[in-house]
Amino acid sequence: MKAGRKELDVFGGVRQIYGYQALGALLREGKYDTEFLTSVGRDMIAMDRKDPRAWEFHTPYGLESVLNQGKEGGRGFYPLTGLMEALGNNPDAATAFFNEPVREDTDKDGIVTKDDKPVKGQHGQDRGMVDYMLDKKPYMDSFDITRTGDLHPAQQALGDALVAAVSHRSPGDEDAPPVAHTKEMAAVMERVVERIGDKPELVVAKPGDPEGPLHGLSGHFGQMAAEYMPDIQAAAGNDSRMIKANGEMAEFGKSGMASFIGAVGQDPDAYGAMTTAQRTFTTALVNDVFAHRSEHDDLDAAIKVAVHPGGQIAGILSEARAEGIFAENGHKKEEYVKGVEDNAKWVNRVISAAGGKYLEMVPLAGMSWGRFRRTSRRARSRAPRRRSSRRSRAATSRRGSTTRNRSGSRARPRRPRCASRRKERACPNAPSTLSPVWRPPRRRMPIPSAATWSPRRTAAPECSASPPRARCSLSLPVQLC
């Protein structure tokens, strides 16, 4: 590692580069050992912390001078980009690296190892790698970009490394089987949620302010939140202990979690990933209630308990979507719809991650909402009903049950009082044979004066009521019957 701090002779405007700059270009390809990557990363971060602009001052001026032979990832003179890409290709190394504290060379031997003391951060705690990398500005590698490449390649590589650290899935490996979360994986996710939850302006800027420095990582944060959707819904409410995590449960503060979801959810891609994961997992919980209906005394109450945490997350996401649409430089509604469609892969991922905990949810994976409601009604109708008390049965019999007359025979059931009333006739002279009490209409039509019309112009209309046949006594041009 001492060679990483040495200067190497090159050509192209700058005579020398550091050894870590050359190594960073090599780390982009292939998969390296976990111990090697964590050791190199520990010392590279210590050197970057001591002099963040050392890489810039040792970068050739000419854009034709490159170390990175790939089309993406910059010119290759910013070694942290290569380190993050290497960590993304080795999820175990990424998890171990982001659980490391930032250290400094306390023994003055020229390199930083595990024997050196950690650097103190806020509140006297050790400053972790997650905080250090998230504190980096998006333009930290502006000297390393190409004419046609990404504007922030280092930040994108950081996002891929964080996703690998919390999910054990390398970038581009969409079909990788889910891995049970370990305590170290959950710790990285907890720190990311806590950091963004405390300062959501890092992702979403306030009106009139410049774009948040971590706005470019919103899509990665959304993928991470979708990976930990059971843990997020458990933070919203899990008093019944119905929610089971995939491995170790991550502990989130409810307010910080809500702030994190509300800020990240304004990005269409992040919104699509979290919404799909939330709907799938909530469907799994409801279907689990139906599959074990005999274990619940009140099926309706059990369903409400199952959907309540997911309903809170859905409400936060809906509000985030509205804020994202009506923001100063907001997104279009179609972008959020496309975000949900593009993240349909999370349906199978959530099902696979649930494993044997919710096996009954598999038939509901591709079920529409209408079909789900019909299935829910059938399941609820087949559920055993609780026996009502003697008092409620007596009250029910008094309301609508059949009665017995003096002879003991069953009489016709009583009808409600309003059922015997029929619609009254409009003609006042027609006898009412169906309604016991005739009520006049609330508003009577005024009788026109003789100056405005002549009674000879129209004949007296006949009432349609029968029997008996009646004739109105008023000769009006409007039929009142």
- Residues 6-42 have pLDDT tens digits of 888 776 556 788 999 989 989 988 889 999 999 999 9
- Residues 245-266 have pLDDT tens digits of 889 999 999 999 999 999 999 9
| Whether residue 149 is found in the same domain as residue 205 | no
What pLDDT does residue 315 have?
92
Residue 426 lies in a domain: no
Residue 399 lies in a domain: no
| Whether residue 80 is found in the same domain as residue 138 | yes
Last residue of a domain, one of 360, 384, 408: 384
- Residues 54-73 have pLDDT tens digits of 998 888 777 777 887 777 77
How much is the CA Rg of the chain, to the nearest whole Å? 36
Better pLDDT: 233 or 328: 233
Specify the amino acid at residue 413.
P
Residue 435 tokens, joined: 């309604």
What is the three-class DSSP state of 459? coil
Range of the domain at 45: 1-174
- Residues 460-471 have pLDDT tens digits of 445 444 454 444
| Whether residue 131 is found in the same domain as residue 207 | no
| Whether residue 209 is found in the same domain as residue 350 | yes
Residue 378 lies in a domain: yes
Length of the chain: 481
Please state the rounded mean pLDDT for residues 174-186. Answer: 88
- How far is residue 112 from each of residues 81, 82, 431, measured CA to CA in Å? 20, 19, 106
| Whether residue 79 is found in the same domain as residue 98 | yes
* Predicted TM-score (pTM) above 0.75: no
Percentage, residues of the chain above pLDDT 70: 69
| Whether residue 95 is found in the same domain as residue 115 | yes
Could you give the number of structural domains in the chain?
2
Residue in the structure block whose two tokens are 């309003």: 418
| Whether residue 342 is found in the same domain as residue 266 | yes
| Whether residue 170 is found in the same domain as residue 182 | no
| Whether residue 146 is found in the same domain as residue 213 | no
Average model confidence (pLDDT) across the chain: 77
Residue in the structure block whose two tokens are 């390393």: 144
| Whether residue 338 is found in the same domain as residue 217 | yes
